[in-house]
Amino acid sequence: MFCEKAIEIIRELHRMGDGQLPAFNEDGIRQVLEEMKALYEQNQSDVNEAKSEGKSELIPTIKFRHCCLLRNQRCVTAYLYDRLLRIRALRWEYGSVLPTNIRFHMCAEELEWFNQYKKSLATFMRSLGGEEGLDITQDMKPPKSLYIEVRCLKDHGEFEIDDGTIILLKKNSQHFLPRWKCEQLIRQGVLEHIMS
């Protein structure tokens, strides 16, 4: 039956809940595009036949194929757009550098879209006033306390805080740091907030 592959790729994406990004189904897309090409060519020849030989009984088939073409287009664009939404969420979750295992799941054009998106976002944030603008990807939660206890989960090297002190973030070291400085590192999995 037509459009089955198109539904399959959507189902596969839908199965991965929680905003996870599965590998780009290049093969699936290719198959749908090939089906579209075949349907279109069959329609072309049928339209010519219907016109030149007046075979109006071909018209329902032509209409049916056209519906399948529209459905395939809609499924493919829905699949791609949903992936874009997940990729957009990654910028807000992980920051501007994506972990390599996620990058492997993206096709070249998606990486390009991501780069353009983060550029747009950066330009926008810089324009928000002040000297450097406002990084609105920070401060995701209302502030509860000024300083928080954090444990370092991996070696991250030196880290400077506002009053100039430099902290060495070594694996398993614990620190009492300003909350606003740690947010992004906590999201990236470098630091862990210790709640007593």
Minimal distance, residue 120 CB to other proteins, in Å: 4
Nearer to other proteins, 54 or 132 (CB): 132
- Residue appearing with tokens 């620190």: 175
Of residues 75-94, which lie at the interface with other proteins (CB under 8 A)?
76-77, 80-81, 84, 88
- Contact string 45-74 vs other proteins (x = CB under 8 A): ------------------------xx--x-
State the Cα–Cα distance between residues 96 and 138, nearest whole angstrom. Answer: 12
Strands 157-160 and 166-169, by their bridges, are antiparallel
Least distance (Å) between residue 107 CB and other proteins: 7
CA distance readout (Å), 81 to 4, 11, 12, 34, 97: 19, 14, 14, 20, 21
DSSP string, 93-140: HH-SS--HHHHTTS-HHHHHHHHHHHHHHHHHHHTTSTTT---TTS--
Q: Which range in 47-55, 116-124, 148-156, 187-195 contacts other proteins by CB under 8 A?
A: 116-124
Please give the angle made by the CA atoms of 16, 21 and 22, to the nearest 5 degrees.
Answer: 70
The residue (of 54 and 163) whose beta carbon lies closer to other proteins is 163
Site for other proteins, rule CB under 8 A: 29, 33, 36-37, 40, 69-70, 73, 76-77, 80-81, 84, 88, 107, 109-110, 112-113, 116-117, 120-121, 123-124, 127-130, 134-136, 138-143, 146, 163, 179-180
